[in-house]
A and B are shown apart, each in its own frame.
Chain A
C-alpha cells in the first residue's frame, strides 16, 4: 500500500526590505501547500524559486551545522533547515510570519549584518590558547569526564538565534551575550587552555559580562543545538568565585549574601540582603522605594522577620555542604 503524504495549506508572511528601492519594510504574503517533510528552508526556497526570485536569505549546508539560516518564525528563533513546518503549525496555527533575526540589522529581506555578534564572539578569544610543542613527547590527554564538561558548549554553530533573542542585547548593546559566554565556558573548562583567568576576567566585567544576564532562559529555549547557554553562564559565575577572579561588587555580594541570609534565617532577610549587597552608600538610592514599601506593609520589622522552623538543621547544612569561598 502506498503511504500517503499529508499536506496542509498555510499562509506565509515574509519580511521584505530592499534598501535600494523601499522606504519602509513590508510583509509579502504567500499561500503554500506544505507536507510533513517540509522544513522552513523548503518554504523559503519555494517562495524564491516559484514566486519571487528577489527574496534574499542566508543558507548553505542544509544540515543544521553551518548556522547560516537562522530566522524568526512568529517570534521563535529557528534554524530554517531544521525546523519542520508542521511543528510550527502545531505551535502557531496556519499563518506563519517569517522575520529576520533582528529587524534593525537588516541588509536585505532576511539577511542581517551580524557584525555585533561576531565582535563579541571575538572578544572572548574563541580558540584554544596553549603553548603546544611542535614535537610533543607524549599525548595531551583529555579524559572522557573532561570532554563531557564542555561537550554541549562545543556544539554551538554560531547561528545567533540566542543572541538575537536575548532581551539584554536589546537594551544594553555592550552585553557580550549568550553565544559568546557559552564559547568562553567551552575554553575555561578545557584543561589544555592557558587563558582561563583572562577569559574569566573578560566575562565578569560589569555592564558587558555575565552579571548583567537577567536569567530569562530565552537562550536555553531557543538554541537549536541544545547548548543551554544560561547553564554555561551560571557555571562561568561559579568559576569566577572558584578561581578567585570575582571582585567584591554589588552583584557578587548579592550572590554570596544569599548564603549568609539563609544561614541566619533560613528564609531571606530581604532588606538585609540589599544592605549587604549595596553597602551603606548604595542603600541611599533605595530609600524612596523602601519608604513606599514600608508604608504599604511590605517590610517587616526586624522582630517579625520570617525564620525557618528547624533553623539549626539549615545552619548545619550550610556548614557541611558549602563548597565555595569568597
Chain B
C-alpha cells in the first residue's frame, strides 16, 4: 500500500449499544492493520429505513449532516452496518444527482453552520478491506488461519441491493452470487460454504410488527447454514447479527428446528485470523457462544 488508509468512522447506533463487540473488534482490527479510523462522534442515527417511512426530508438532512462530518475530516466515510450504508449512500446519491434537493437540504444545514458538498465517499468496512486495503495485503498478516472451519457467509440485503446504488462502492458485487465475504473467509484461511439463503433477508426490519415473518426468514437462513455443514456464520451487518444470534432460539422454533450455531461479525473473523485475542474481539458478548475460540 502506498499510503496509510484513513477513514471517518460512522459507527451507527447498534455498534454502540446492542452489538458493542462490533465496534470493539473493528477498532482492534484497524489498529492491527494500521488503518486510521476517526470516529464521527457528532453523528446521529441514520434513521434505519424507519424514520424514512415517516419523514423523508428530516432523514435526508440528518444523513447529509452525518456526511458533513466526514467531509470536514477530509476522509471517506466508512460504515459498520449494512442499513447505515444503505441510508447514507441513498442520501448521498439523491443529493449528488439533484441540485434542487441539495440546495433545500443545505438551506437547513446552514442554520447550524454546515454545508453538504458531496466530496466524501461512503463504503462499508467490508469493502474498505477488500477494495482499499486489499486481500493480498491482508493475507500477508494472517498468523492464525481459520483452518478446518466451514464458514457460512451471510451478506445482508443493504450492502448488495440495489446494485445500481451500491455498485461503485462494493466492487460491483453481484447481488445474485455475491462473493466478497467468501473471498474474505478464504483469505482468513477458512472454507466458505454455499447455501441458498446467503444473500437473502433476515427479516429484521419487520421484527416488531411481523415477528412470524422475521423469525421464519432468519430461521431459514440459520438452518440453511447448518445444513451446509457450517461451523459458524459471519455477517457484515449488526442488524442481521441481532436476528441470527440474539433471536436464534425463536428463529429456529419458527421453522421447527433446534438451532445452535455461532454468528460472528466480519471484523471478529478477520481479528481471529490476525491473532487478536478473542476477548479483545468481544466474543463474550454473543448469546450463542463461539466455543471454538
A residues sitting closer than 8 Å to B (CB atoms) are: 74-76, 91-92, 167-168, 171-172, 206-207, 211-218, 220-221, 228, 234, 237-238, 241, 249-251, 254-256, 258-259, 261-262, 266-268, 270, 274, 277-278, 289, 292-293, 296-300, 305-306, 308-310, 313-314, 316-318, 320-324, 326
Whether A171 contacts B204 in the complex (CB less than 8 A), given A259-B58, A292-B246, A323-B55, comes out as no
* Smallest CB-CB A-B distances: 9 pairs: A237-B53, A216-B201, A217-B161, A251-B209, A258-B51, A324-B55, A268-B13, A306-B16, A321-B61
A205 to B43, CA, bound (A): 35
Which secondary structure dominates where chain A touches chain B?
A: helix
A187 to B54, CA, bound (A): 20
Most chain B beta carbons < 10 A, residue from A171, A251, A261, A266: A171
Whether A270 contacts B20 in the complex (CB less than 8 A), given A215-B157, A216-B157, A234-B53, comes out as no
Interface residues of B in 30-59 (CB under 8 A from A): 41-45, 47-58
Whether B54 lies near A298 (C-beta < 8 A) is: no
Whole-angstrom distance between the Cβ of B58 and the nearest chain A Cβ: 5
B-side interface residues, number (CB < 8 Å): 61
Whether B17 lies near A308 (C-beta < 8 A) is: no
Q: Which of B137-145, B181-189, B212-220, B263-271 contacts A (4 or more CB under 8 A)?
A: B212-220
Whether A241 lies near B201 (C-beta < 8 A) is: no
Find A316's partner among B57, B112, B162, B216 (CB 8 Å cutoff).
Answer: B112
| B174 at the binding interface (Cβ < 8 Å) | yes
Whether B45 lies near A215 (C-beta < 8 A) is: no
5 A-B pairs whose Cβ atoms sit less than 8 Å apart in the complex: A289-B246, A292-B287, A297-B20, A306-B17, A314-B62
A171 to B213, CA, bound (A): 6
Whether A211 lies near B212 (C-beta < 8 A) is: no
A218 to B284, CA, bound (A): 34
Whether B208 lies near A250 (C-beta < 8 A) is: yes
Whether B53 lies near A270 (C-beta < 8 A) is: no
Interface residues of B in 120-178 (CB under 8 A from A): 157-158, 161-163, 174-177
| B6 at the binding interface (Cβ < 8 Å) | no
Find B287's partner among A167, A214, A296, A326 (CB 8 Å cutoff).
Answer: A296
| B286 at the binding interface (Cβ < 8 Å) | yes
A308 to B45, CA, bound (A): 9
| B203 at the binding interface (Cβ < 8 Å) | yes
Whether A298 lies near B209 (C-beta < 8 A) is: no
